[in-house]
Amino acid sequence: MTTPYPSREVWLLHADGSATIHRTGAEVVITSPKGDDIESVARFDFKAPNNEAVYKTLVLDMRIAWEAGARHLIAYSDSPHIVKQLKERIKLKRIA
């Protein structure tokens, strides 16, 4: 996969959320530059908007990715609204 930062070790994060009448949840897969996957599933036993579940799960999993060594992360979601929120709220530092 070609990334906008070819000289850096880029991690990938893919998120997918779902909501029903009784539950809300999201699944996230974090992929290291070496191809190792970290899978995470969050389930909430209360009704919440799908976007809220995906957003909260993404924030938690970005912390997991950071602790695993990710410094350059590209996040993908089935919700463009979530990606926009993350871009607005998180300041990324560029390391030259």
Domain ranges in the chain are 10-89
Burial of 34 (0-12, 13-18, 19+ CB in 10 A): exposed
| Tokens linked to 67 | 């602790």
The tokens 């990606």 sit on which residue? 83
- pLDDT class for 35, splitting at 50, 70, 90? very high
CA distances from 27 to 5, 11, 23 (A): 26, 17, 13
Reported as a single tens digit per residue, the pLDDT across 48-77 is: 666 677 777 777 888 888 899 998 888 888
- pLDDT class for 45, splitting at 50, 70, 90? confident
Query: Across the beta sheet with 72-77, what order do the strands follow?
Result: 37-44, 24-31, 10-19, 72-77
| Topology annotation, domain 10-89 | Nucleotidyltransferase; domain 5 (3.30.420)
